[in-house]
Amino acid sequence: MELTAVAKLEAMYTELCRGKDGQYQSVGMWPYLPVLRALVGQTRAQQVIELGVRSGGSTTAFLLSLMETGGQLWSCDLDILWPPINKLKPALHQDHPKLWTFVQGDTTELALEGSPPTSCDVLLVDAAFEKRYIDLIHYGLRVRPGGFILVHDTNREDAVREQVERYLALSWPAVHCRKSYLSGNKGLAVVSVL
Backbone angles phi, psi at 134, to 5 degrees: -70, -35
* Residue 29 touching ligand SAM (CB under 6 A): yes
Q: Which of residues 126-165 bind ligand SAM (CB under 6 A)?
A: 126-128, 131
CB of 40 closer than 8 Å to CB of 50: no
Q: Smaller CB distance to ligand SAM: residue 160 or 175?
A: 160
Query: With contacts defined by CB under 6 A, how many residues of the chain interact with ligand SAM?
Result: 19
Q: Rounded distance, CA 137 to CA 168, Å? A: 10
Q: How does 43-73 read in b/e, with b if 16+ C-beta sit within 10 Å? A: bebbbbbbbbbbbbbbbbbbbbbbbebebbb
CB of 93 closer than 8 Å to CB of 59: no
Q: Smaller CB distance to ligand SAM: residue 150 or 177?
A: 150
Handedness of CA 103, 159, 19, 124 (dihedral sign): negative
* Residue 193 touching ligand SAM (CB under 6 A): no
Q: Smaller CB distance to ligand SAM: residue 57 or 169?
A: 57
**How many residues are given for the chain?**
194
Q: Residue 181 CB, nearest distance to ligand SAM (Å)?
A: 17
Q: Residue 126 CB, nearest distance to ligand SAM (Å)?
A: 4
SS3 194: coil
Query: Given candidates 47, 55, 154, 163, which one binds ligand SAM under the rule CB under 6 A?
Result: 55
Q: Which of residues 57-116 bind ligand SAM (CB under 6 A)?
A: 57-58, 76-79, 106-107
Neighbours of 94 (CB within 10 A): 9
* Residue 54 touching ligand SAM (CB under 6 A): yes
Residue closest to ligand SAM when measured from CB atoms: 57
What are the residues binding ligand SAM (CB under 6 A)?
27, 29, 52-58, 76-79, 106-107, 126-128, 131
